[in-house]
A and B are shown apart, each in its own frame.
Chain A
Amino acid sequence: MNLSANARRATLAFMLIAIMLVAVGVIQSWAVMLTIFNLCLISSIMALGVNIQWGYAGLFNVGTMGFAALGGVAAMLVSQEPVIAAWHAGGWKLLLSFVSLVLVIFLVAILYGKIKKGPLRQLAITGALVLGYFLFRAFFDPASDAIEAIDPAVAGYLGGMGLPILLSWIAGGVLAAGAAWIIGRIALGLRSDYLAIATLGISEIIIAFIKNEDWLTRGVKNVTGLKRPVPYEIDLQKADWFINLVESLNHGTLSQFGADDRSAMLRQMVIEASSIFVKLCYAGLFIAVLAAILTLSVKALDSPWGRMMRAIRDNEVAADAMGKNVTRRHLQVFVLGSAVVGLAGAMLTTLDGQLTPGTYQPLRFTFLIWVMVIVGGSGNNLGAVLGGFLIWLVWIEAEPVGVWLIDNLTAGLGETSPVRLHLMETAQHMRVLVMGLVLLTVMRFHPEGILPEVVKREEGD
């Protein structure tokens, strides 16, 4: 039984991460440490989502970025106030264009059913599609132009539903799940490398859509100032209870100063504390979500459902022969995993307070998550969380550490040496190289990751 060995290893690894985080807090600052910690939490949730797909079922999804972005869009759509003028200007026409789209799809379906297979059917369907396309564009183009013309500096889009942003976390999961369901229906029959290419393609399309459909997302103009589920720093700094709290916490330090210095000091402390307090609030929310998802994941993996999933992963043919509906199970797991990623995506956008479509890069949002899962231990939920923490820490800290390293290593070259200047300039890119080496090394020498999958022997030997 490797259960206890794993438990020991997990404790050790998390202790190591805690030490690293504390080191960041002491050397850099506690605010930086909390920023990293919050992103570690979100990364862990994304890694859990990928682990559900890859670790449980062996599904090779390289479209994490797309699902995370959908979550981000959901955060914006749920929380932003609707732009009434934009709705008046083009909202209804826009709806009409979508109605026409649906009608065309119906028409195609009817034509497909009514006409016998042959050139006539192809012609009819092509005709209907071309006609439908122009019909759609006839409604859509003026509508989106009209919407984008409304107050373009701050709006130029339809806005959202004006609901609390916490709801968007669920909405993000649902939106990603819906997209995953459609994608899964089409792509899940493919073998693993085609599925990888398909998901990669779809995620790129989702990003292209979010970047370019300004009427919906403002595109690369970004939507800033999203609502928050936690208090604003500026409000905290004015709140008496908060000032009192900070004062009482720092009583010892403050009492050493005179009255004038003291109030300036307190002011400074309150500003710092407000930022930390806000980050702690986020951390609390994120920890709650992570704990819930982790618990559910662990329970699911230990349930008969999880055992069946792994049986399918390890021998698809046999599972198929035993009457398990493999494609259906795969669809389930694909939708579930994507929903978790979508949820994490919504959380990330909430934390950022803005939707910035230009920042979705596959390296960061897809491949880095994969490194987390593989390094953490595919098939092991706690491993995914561990991978999320560790890899995010390394990803963030590789830059300052790299700069520091190169600064010291090349100090002998002289301040203006071109080699030194070039290296200093590119040191920030070290982390990509480091990630690749970490991934390759783990795969080669320890392919089961830091926390290997726990294989329970039913026979009890």
Chain B
Amino acid sequence: MDILNALVLLFNYIIVPSVAYGSQLALGALGVTLVYGTLRFANFAHGELMAFGAMITILCTWWLQSLGVSIAPLPTALLALGPAIAVTVAIVLITDRTIYRFYREKRSAPAIYIIASIGVMFVMNGLIRFIIGPSDRAFGDGQRYIIKAQDFRDMTGLSEGLGIKTSQGITVLVTLFLVAALFWFLQKTRTGKSMRAYADNRDLALLSGINPERVVMYSWIITAALATIAGALYGLDKSFKPFTYFQLLLPLFAAAIVGGIGKPVGAIVGGFVIAFSEVTITYPYKKFLTYLMPEGMQPSGLLQLLSTDYKFAVSFIILVIVLMVTPTGIMKGKTV
């Protein structure tokens, strides 16, 4: 029996990665849910939007690095986020003007919006391949770890190490800050309230004199900013690979819907639910149980509930189960 080592193991391989991944999903899912709340469609281009934002961040990072700018021990990418958000917001607003607004004026069905967003997805995907190419890009610099696994072992004398990457720490702090700021904005400001009102009851919002175009514009701005940050953090944490972002689409949708679509709190809860499920279900528990079981009773197999290759299936299964139990999601989102 070695409870301490087992706990450290759990922290190192499940809790820390899940919290970081959950934060990234939450930020992405917030964007999905905001667009859904105000524009009423599932944005299939959202994964690509995150990739696009991350790409601009990388380009800005390289540029800053070439100028010799550094904020070590923090990664330069944090500085690059500012201009990257500006560029991504501009792109998103142009997309809205040239594409989505047309369907808004025609009051098209959600399916038409989705097909349009598939078109946008193609274009963004093409732009990304064209500009930065399909290969892996590392852009993290500064100090890589907050705690190194080896240092942790030396410090505590345990045989298991606990490593926390700088990117993970930054992800959590940035997410906390952004979520707090977003909720303050939505709860306390006139514009934020008008966005909630518009998402809640579009016709009544119009009767109250709320300008839909402004609400939509703010939704896109916030969505683009969050997507850029989420995409950059995800890339910083796991290295930037354009094609992995499309695969984030399913966990993102799952997070938004599981939490209750159109509900910002739901997106955050959903993000963590999905992240923790993915990691816990695909983690092999062999070593963990080895620590807890008496000598000589070590388990033989890997004790993995599902192979990691099925991690996207996990988010989908969670989605289906939650929808079967509470059709509007955990936080009672829009019933449609």
Contacts and interface: CB of A to CB of B under 8 A. Distances in A.
Chains A and B touch each other in the complex, with CB atoms below 8 Å apart? yes
Interface of A: 58, 60, 62, 133, 141, 186, 191-194, 196-198, 200-202, 204-205, 208, 211-212, 362-363, 367, 370-371, 374, 425-426, 429-437, 439-440, 443-444, 447
Contact of B307 (A194, A212, A436, A443): A212
A440 B116 contact: yes
- Top 7 nearest A-B pairs (CB, nearest first) are A433-B126, A436-B122, A436-B123, A429-B129, A432-B126, A201-B316, A439-B119
Given A191-B110, A193-B41, A430-B126, A436 B121 contact: yes
Contacts, number: 124
A409 to B, nearest CB: 14
Contacts of A363: 122, 125, 246
Given A141-B301, A192-B114, A433 B123 contact: yes
28 contacts: A62-B44, A186-B320, A193-B42, A193-B114, A194-B42, A197-B250, A200-B249, A200-B250, A201-B316, A204-B312, A204-B313, A204-B316, A205-B316, A208-B312, A208-B313, A212-B307, A212-B309, A362-B246, A363-B125, A367-B118, A429-B126, A429-B129, A430-B126, A433-B125, A433-B129, A436-B119, A436-B123, A436-B125
Given A436-B120, A439-B115, 20 more contacts: A133-B305, A192-B109, A192-B110, A196-B114, A197-B250, A201-B316, A204-B312, A204-B316, A205-B313, A362-B246, A426-B129, A426-B130, A426-B131, A433-B129, A436-B122, A437-B119, A437-B123, A440-B116, A440-B120, A443-B116
A222 B187 CA distance: 54
A39 B299 CA distance: 51
Given A191-B336, A196-B42, A205-B316, A439 B122 contact: yes
A435 B312 contact: no
A433 B127 contact: yes
A178 B336 CA distance: 28
Contacts of A433: 122-123, 125-127, 129-130
Interface string B247-283: 1011001100100000000000000000000000000
Nearest to B310: A208
Contacts of A443: 112, 115-116, 119
A60 B111 contact: yes
A436 B250 CA distance: 21
Contacts of A444: 99, 102
Interface string B181-213: 000000000000000000000000000000000
A192 B99 CA distance: 20
B114 A440 contact: no
Contacts of B42: 193-194, 196-197
A433 B125 CA distance: 7
A202 B253 CA distance: 13
A202 B112 contact: no
A197 B126 contact: no
A194 B87 CA distance: 31
Nearest to A440: B119
A374 B115 CA distance: 9
B134 interface: yes
Q: Taking each of B111, B120, B122, B257, which has the highest tally of chain A beta carbons within 10 Å of its own beta carbon? A: B122
Contacts of A429: 126, 129-130, 133-134
B47 to A, nearest CB: 11
Contacts of B27: none
B232 interface: no
Nearest to A220: B309
A60 B42 CA distance: 12
Interface in B125-160: 125-127, 129-131, 133-134
A58 B111 CA distance: 9
Contacts of B122: 363, 367, 371, 432-433, 435-437, 439
B215 interface: no
A432 B99 contact: no
A244 B121 CA distance: 53
A101 to B, nearest CB: 15
A440 B316 contact: no
B319 interface: yes
A192 to B, nearest CB: 4
Interface string B81-115: 00000000000000000010010000001111011
Contacts of A374: 115
B99 to A, nearest CB: 6
Contacts of A430: 126, 130
B115 A432 contact: no
A364 B301 CA distance: 38
Nearest to A190: B323
Contacts of A434: 126
Contact of A204 (B41, B121, B250): B250
A208 B114 contact: no
A141 B303 CA distance: 11
A62 B42 CA distance: 13
A429 B109 CA distance: 31
Contacts of A186: 320
Nearest to A425: B133
Contacts of A62: 44
With most chain B CB atoms within 10 A of its CB, the pick from A205, A425, A430, A431 is A205
Contacts of A362: 246
B115 A197 contact: no
A318 B40 CA distance: 23
A444 B115 CA distance: 11
A223 B116 CA distance: 37
Contacts of B125: 363, 432-433, 436
A58 B109 CA distance: 11
B313 A426 contact: no
A370 B122 CA distance: 12
B31 to A, nearest CB: 15
Nearest to B123: A436
Interface in B201-238: none
Nearest to A202: B316
Contact of A208 (B41, B99, B102, B309): B309
A60 B130 contact: no
Nearest to A445: B102
Nearest to B316: A201
A367 B115 CA distance: 9
A192 B111 CA distance: 6
Interface string B280-319: 0000000000000000000001000101011011011001
Given A58-B111, A204-B250, A211 B309 contact: yes
